[in-house]
Chains A and B, each alone.
Chain A
Amino acid sequence: MLKIQGLECGYGRMRVIEGVNLEVGAESVGLFGPNGAGKTTLIGAVMGINKPWGGSIEFDGKRIENTDTHFMARMGVALVPQERELFPGMSVDDNLMLGAAYIPHARDKSDEQLEKVFSLFPILRERRKQLAGTMSGGQQRMVAIARALMSNPKLLILDEPSLGLQPSIVAEVFEVLKELKKTVSILVTEQNVRESLRSIDRGYVLENGKIVIEDSAEGLKTNPYVLKSYLGL
């Protein structure tokens, strides 16, 4: 599905990603690392938000290194950005519908998809008419996840989905991801390693732009370094 090889990426003259190899198949993959490790930058390179310096990125067997963001979306990659990036002056409904309106394979099924999304996040149904910009941070994150799902993606990328969410909602979001991974590939970055380890199949640890650990969820749970640095044990 997604195959990254020898990726180099950065800003100006500063190299942020140094020779990263990462793969996502029909599974859910976690990407962990401290602040500033380069997780968002890596995702930006996949999504065409920042241009890679070197290496290759393949999606569905096609090279996509220099593909514009809107084409990535239309190819079936949906992003839930760390900063959410909603349309603040539009209602929840309009935000969600825009998630599907410009995606050829999702456009005609947007009503069904809306029902699915509402059953995952019932609170959004109650708030359909509320302006997205007036919602709380956590609610906005749900709108962002729901909007991404509206595009009926093949690959769902979530950048720190639990950021700013109360613990009970975090658990709920990861429950939803667990459910979703049956039908869609997932790449998720997280600070909350403990919670996310329950929903992922495999994971990578990124530090200073390099992958330092790659293992199954089980392997990560027992890795002494992960236990010490990320699970605080």
Chain B
Amino acid sequence: MTVNRKAVPWIILGAAAVVAILAWKPTVLIYGVQRAGLYASVAIPMALVLGIVHIVNLAHGEIMMVSAYLTYNIARSIGLDPWLALLPVALVMGIMGYFIFQLTIRHTLKAPELNQLILTFGIAITMTQAISLIFTPQTRKLPLSYVSMSATIGETSFGVYDFVYVAIALLMGFGIKWFLSNTRMGKAAVAVGQNPRGAAIVGIDVMKTYVFIFTVSVILVGMTGSVFMTRQSIFPYVGSPYTMKSFSLVAMAGIGSISGIIYSSLLLGIAEAAINGIRGASGWSGIVFFLIIIIVIAVRAYKGRKL
């Protein structure tokens, strides 16, 4: 492995930060990494659809929410464990994604991007309102004993269940990277992202590529939603902040970069956990999240690097 020389100061800085946090409150690092896993597992599917084929989907977090409700209701009604419900739910989400694309997004591909923005924003509102009407705005949570598993190292004990997000994020991240560089459909997606007209000329079925990538991203964020509901309480608006956060993470990672999402999530997750670790400061974590994103994007723009 070759290490970029410019990266050396950053690696040292990062290592120093990790050591400092470990000395101060080791749990901050643990919860930070877990939080990063959650952010990344929501943002990576968006990085695929936004970063690779440039479809703006402002209903991303809401799709995760719908999948969470679907999983919740299957688990409640037939007593299936959410982890087992995950696959049938993924199938339903795939069908839903396919129809969302064919009925709506397909017709905005050649229009200015603003149309996609408004259209998917409308889909997001429709989803939250529909779920609100059907299931009421009440908060829901499935009692699952295994989510409170914990471990103790030395004198600190901490929840370990949330590490599943880290596993999911890594699986998705490496899976997508492999898919993009090793499969026909993956390479086609990269080509379509760079130039849809050029892609059609070389024999790539551009529409099929869009449908496939969009559907896959819906399935992936849907799976994250199924897992999300095992741990978090859900309510109709629970997905909305994740749309915003994923969007920001993709911008921060650099359009098209999947590994960038993982680094950005780590930075933000740990920063948030650190703020939460300071007594009385937890109200600031949301602000700090977006502040860091603004700084990173501004610095990158200042350096004149490509977003």
Residues of A participating in the B interface, judged by any CB pair closer than 8 Å = 47, 49, 68-70, 73-74, 78-79, 81, 83, 85-90, 98-99, 101-103, 147, 151
Contacts and interface: CB of A to CB of B under 8 A. Distances in A.
A154 to B, nearest CB: 14
Contact of B202 (A73, A83, A88): A73
Contacts of A85: 195, 197-198, 201
Nearest to A79: B201
A70 B204 contact: yes
B200 A73 contact: yes
B194 A81 contact: no
Question: What DSSP secondary structure best describes chain B's contact surface?
Answer: helix
Given A98-B187, A101-B184, A101-B187, A88 B203 contact: no
A86 B201 contact: no
A103 B197 contact: no
B36 interface: no
A47 B198 contact: no
Contacts of B202: 73, 98-99, 101-103, 147, 151
Contact of B203 (A49, A89, A102): A102
Contact of B195 (A79, A87, A101, A102): A87
B195 A86 contact: yes
A81 B197 contact: yes
B81 interface: no
Contacts of A90: 190-191, 194
Contacts of A68: 200, 205
Nearest to A85: B198
A81 B203 contact: no
A151 B197 contact: no
Contacts of B200: 49, 68-70, 73
3 cross-chain pairs, A with B, having the tightest CB-CB distances, nearest first: A102-B203, A85-B198, A73-B203
Contacts of A101: 184, 187, 202-203
A11 to B, nearest CB: 13
Contact of A151 (B194, B198, B203): B203
Contact of A88 (B188, B195, B197): B195
Nearest to A69: B200
B204 to A, nearest CB: 5
Contacts of B249: none
Nearest to B197: A85
Interface in B181-227: 184, 187-188, 190-191, 194-195, 197-206
A99 B195 CA distance: 13
A49 B194 CA distance: 18
B203 A74 contact: yes
A142 to B, nearest CB: 15
Nearest to B256: A89
Nearest to A87: B194
A87 B256 CA distance: 14
A102 B188 contact: yes
A62 B55 CA distance: 35
A83 B205 CA distance: 20
A147 B202 CA distance: 8
Given A81-B197, A101-B184, A87 B204 contact: no
A198 B143 CA distance: 81
A126 B187 CA distance: 24
Nearest to A48: B200
A98 B187 CA distance: 9
